[in-house]
């Protein structure tokens, strides 16, 4: 239904987001918010402090380590392992600079 309150030119230039009803806009906002929440990296993880791991960014030995279930996270492709049996990841946070990274394999020296 076209009431004439919008010029044909303005209507033609509107995006699908602008044309959506208020209800649809609210649904999209909820979906976006929940998707962002589901795909965020873990924040505020309490781990075990260690001086045995060197930060790859600041080269300090002040990190916290914890393990995280692989299925609980959205992980980028570079984190995925070729071995489906490895269900736990070691998550490391540098307490000095805030760098965060995953380890899936450890080399014993």
- Rounded distance between C-alpha atoms, residue 17 and residue 26, angstroms: 11
Half-sphere exposure of 47 (CA within 13 A, CB side): 22
- Tell me the pLDDT tens digit for each residue of 78-98: 555 556 556 677 888 899 998
CATH for 66? 2.20.25.10
Angle at 37 between CA 33 and CA 43, to 5 degrees: 145
With respect to residue 82, please indicate whether it lies within any of the assigned structural domains. yes
- Tell me the pLDDT tens digit for each residue of 2-54: 566 888 898 899 998 898 999 999 999 988 887 777 666 555 567 899 999 99
Q: What is the total count of domains within the chain?
A: 1
Which residue has better confidence, 68 or 63? 63
With respect to residue 99, please indicate whether it lies within any of the assigned structural domains. yes
With respect to residue 54, please indicate whether it lies within any of the assigned structural domains. yes
Q: Helices marked H in the chain — which ranges?
A: 8-13, 16-19, 22-39
Pairing mode, if any, of strands 63-69 and 88-94? antiparallel
């Amino acid at each position: 239904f076209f009431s004439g309150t919008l010029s044909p030119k303005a209507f033609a230039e509107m995006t699908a987001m602008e044309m959506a009803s208020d209800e649809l806009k609210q649904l999209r906002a909820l979906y976006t918010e929940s998707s962002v929440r589901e795909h965020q990296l873990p924040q505020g993880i309490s781990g075990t402090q260690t001086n045995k791991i060197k930060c790859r960014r600041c080269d300090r030995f002040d990190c916290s380590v914890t393990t995280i279930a692989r299925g609980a996270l959205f992980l980028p492709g570079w984190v995925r392992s070729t071995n489906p049996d490895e269900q736990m990841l070691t998550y490391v946070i540098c307490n000095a600079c805030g760098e965060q990274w995953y380890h899936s394999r450890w080399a014993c020296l």
